[in-house]
């Protein structure tokens, strides 16, 4: 047995809960990846997670990717951008990130393409969709998805692999699940229009079981692996400031 309340124990327990959620949903646990979200935690903690065999980490601020990628350069980490990305920071992301899941507007796509071309890099991207009516959530409006996908087809620096969303922030499980269902239906609709989008990044510490029941292929987990964050989300996560 691993000692309780260590990173190793929390990671094992979380992976077990994800596997259970898959089985409850009649799905193979091998279909669902966990993306550990290391935002607000320092390089020592991330290094400890690397020691557990984790090599992809989600961050929601460009600054944190910049600060951590240098000291952790020996770890072979794939940094995944999951937070709102300002166009003027696209250059840093094009240089340092292995993947962007928060691609949500044409102007950002154009900027990323330009910088990725300069870097000679090709990365995987997910399109972030707004699946709730919360005024403060980022993401592309669902209606705009098909034209956006056509536009992205003109950017060989980005492989569009799927969709990402954040569910509405409420304790009402039916409403939360509705957001996840909406993302899956959008994916199916895009497939009917010739766009193959195998990946659905949806579900966090508090709602991953609902997301898995609706077809998530990747859950983004911070708190359940790393513990409570030292600062409120509003500090690191602009959309929750309203």
Ligand X SMILES: *Cc1c(COP(=O)(O)O)cnc(C)c1O
Q: Which residues bind ligand X (CB under 6 A)?
A: 37, 39, 60, 82-83, 166, 204-206, 220-224, 237
CB 154 to ligand X: min, Å: 27
Nearer to ligand X, 155 or 237 (CB): 237
Helices (H), 25-140: 43-51, 62-69, 90-96, 106-119
Pick between residue 119 and residue 233 the one whose CB is nearest to ligand X.
233
Tokens of 147: 């034209």
> Least distance to ligand X from the beta carbon of 208, Å?
8
Nearer to ligand X, 45 or 204 (CB): 204
Distance, in Å, from the CA atom of 81 to the CA atom of 37, rounded to the nearest integer, reads 10
Instruction: Tell the residue number behind the tokens 């993302």, with chain if given.
Output: 183
Instruction: Give the gyration radius of the chain's Cα atoms.
Output: 17
Measured distance CA(65)–CA(236) in Å, rounded: 13
> Which residues, listed in sequence order, are joined to residue 164 by a DSSP beta bridge?
128, 201
Angle at 80 between CA 116 and CA 157, to 5 degrees: 25
- Shortest distance in whole angstroms from residue 105 CB to ligand X: 16
Task: Tell me whether residue 109 or residue 167 sits nearer to ligand X (CB atom).
Answer: 167
Distance CA(135)–CA(238), nearest Å, equals 12
Give the shortest CB-160-to-ligand X separation in angstroms. Answer: 18
Nearer to ligand X, 146 or 204 (CB): 204
206 token code pair: 């508090």
Q: Which is nearer to ligand X, 83 or 162 (CB)?
A: 83
Rounded distance, CA 218 to CA 56, Å? 12
DSSP structure class, residue 123: E
Chain-centre distance for alpha carbon 216: 11
Query: Shortest Cβ distance from residue 168 to ligand X (Å)?
Result: 14
Least separation in angstroms between residue 124's CB and ligand X is 16
Residue sitting closest to ligand X (CB) = 222
């Amino acid at each position: 047995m691993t000692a309780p309340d260590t990173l190793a124990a929390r990671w094992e327990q979380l992976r077990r809960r994800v596997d259970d959620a898959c089985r409850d949903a009649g799905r193979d646990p091998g279909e669902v990846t966990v993306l550990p979200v290391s935002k607000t935690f320092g390089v020592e903690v991330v290094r400890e997670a690397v020691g557990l065999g984790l090599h992809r980490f989600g961050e929601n601020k460009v600054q944190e990717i910049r600060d951590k990628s240098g000291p952790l350069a020996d770890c072979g980490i794939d940094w995944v951008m999951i937070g709102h990305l300002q166009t003027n920071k696209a250059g840093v992301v094009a240089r340092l990130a292995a993947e962007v899941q928060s691609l949500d507007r044409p102007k950002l796509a154009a900027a990323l393409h330009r910088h990725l071309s300069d870097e000679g890099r090709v990365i995987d991207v997910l399109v972030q969709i707004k699946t709730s009516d919360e005024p403060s959530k980022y993401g592309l409006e669902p209606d705009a998805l098909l034209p956006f996908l056509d536009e992205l087809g003109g950017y060989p620096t980005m492989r569009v692999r799927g969709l990402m969303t954040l569910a509405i922030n409420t304790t009402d499980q039916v409403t939360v699940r509705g957001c996840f269902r909406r993302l899956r239906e959008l994916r199916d609709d895009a497939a009917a229009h010739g766009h193959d989008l195998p990946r659905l990044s949806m579900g966090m510490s508090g709602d991953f079981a609902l997301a898995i029941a609706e077809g998530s292929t990747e859950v983004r987990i911070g708190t359940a692996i790393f513990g409570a964050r030292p600062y409120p989300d509003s500090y690191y996560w602009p959309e929750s400031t309203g």
